[in-house]
Amino acid sequence: MKLATIRVHGATRAVRVDQDQAVDLGENDLVCFLRHADWLARAEAADGERYAVDGLDYAPVVVAPEKVVCVGLNYRNHILEMGRELPEYPTLFSKYARALVGAHDEVILPTSSERMDWEAELAVVIGAEIRHASPEQARAAIAGYTVLNDVTARDWQYRTTQWHQGKTFEATTPIGPWLVTAGDPALAGEGLDLVCEVDGDVVQKADTRDLVFDPAALVAYLSEMVTLAPGDVIATGTPGGVGHARKPPRYLEDGAVLVTRIEGLGECRNTCRREAR
């Protein structure tokens, strides 16, 4: 089952996206909807206003999550090819909600950075409040999965040893177009193919089976530090192929078309635009 937040009638609405129509779920966005303990049953039974699927205006799948937590250095092959040892613990940083944009929105390249880079990622969305979770409890707390690109200002990221300042520029992080619920048949396989394209060139390609810390492990680990809440996002990390590591480096330019695709989850297709001041 696919759930999304769309823009319609001058506002946002949470919807179930079926093959030929989107059905209103009775809430303004998915964060609000996922706060219902019985959200899955409500989504399956929803019978609200209908919207044509063609031309839906997708907002960020979660408009204002309480937390967006990101993971670095989490693909085995990428870590080993850089000559590093596999990490014992996840590398974590965060984003603010204003960094998020919809699946077809413009990605804004800030005037203060000349080194904006792509990072295609599988993202987890939390569906139940959880703290001190076992791996089994963590897995059960996952509402579903979506597509995210952690577009990064490399020149800001490496100003210090802390990455946060390069990771949360406003309107830089596409997420969506929808959340695919954890029990959906599209997710039945052991891994999902992840692809990133820039202007038609395939720049990243990986299988999510290569993750060092899988989604349930990340949820359990984070829940030891903080209560995870419905609508929280965990971006699970990116594989090799980022522009900063190329020789010569390659970065996103004004007008570039950035496509982030994950098997079974759909794609984000975003045009990059230089910030206007």
Same domain, 106 and 234: yes
Neighbours of 266 (CB within 10 A): 21
* pLDDT score recorded for residue 13: 98
Same domain, 141 and 21: no
Using a pLDDT cut of 90, give the percent of the chain over it: 93
Query: Can you read off the two tokens belonging to residue 22?
Result: 């989107």
Same domain, 99 and 195: yes
Using a pLDDT cut of 70, give the percent of the chain over it: 99
- Distance, CA of 237 to CA of 232 (rounded, Å): 16
The backbone torsions φ and ψ at residue 202, rounded to the nearest 5 degrees and listed phi first, read -75, 115
Q: Is the Cα dihedral 44, 47, 49, 54 positive or negative? A: positive
Domain limit, last residue, from 43, 59, 75: 59
Q: Is the Cα dihedral 81, 122, 204, 106 positive or negative? A: negative
Q: Which of 167, 169, 188 is CA-nearest to residue 237?
A: 167
- Distance, CA of 127 to CA of 38 (rounded, Å): 10
pLDDT above 90: residue 17? yes
Provide the whole-model pTM. 0.96
Query: Can you read off the two tokens belonging to residue 31?
Result: 């964060």
Same domain, 104 and 27: no
Instruction: Kindly provide the residue ranges of all beta strands, DSSP E only, lying in the chain, ordered along the sequence.
Output: 2-8, 11-17, 21-24, 50-52, 57-58, 68-72, 91-95, 100-101, 107-109, 116-117, 120-126, 142-149, 152-153, 173-181, 193-198, 201-207, 233-235, 257-262, 266-274
Same domain, 25 and 81: no
**pLDDT band per the 50, 70, 90 thresholds, residue 83:** confident
* pLDDT score recorded for residue 78: 78
Q: Which structural domain, as residue segments, surrounds residue 72?
A: 62-274
Same domain, 81 and 5: no
- Count of domains forming the chain: 2
Mean of the pLDDT values across residues 31-39? 98
pLDDT above 90: residue 188? no
pLDDT above 90: residue 277? no
* pLDDT score recorded for residue 128: 98
pLDDT above 90: residue 186? no
**pLDDT band per the 50, 70, 90 thresholds, residue 79:** confident
Largest CA distance in the chain: 54
* pLDDT score recorded for residue 251: 98
Please report, for the domain that includes residue 140, its CATH number: 3.90.850.10
- Distance, CA of 134 to CA of 150 (rounded, Å): 28
CA distances from 45 to 13, 138, 180 (A): 17, 25, 16
pLDDT above 90: residue 185? no
- Distance, CA of 177 to CA of 42 (rounded, Å): 20
Inter-residue contact 124 to 145 (CB < 8 Å): yes
Same domain, 43 and 160: no
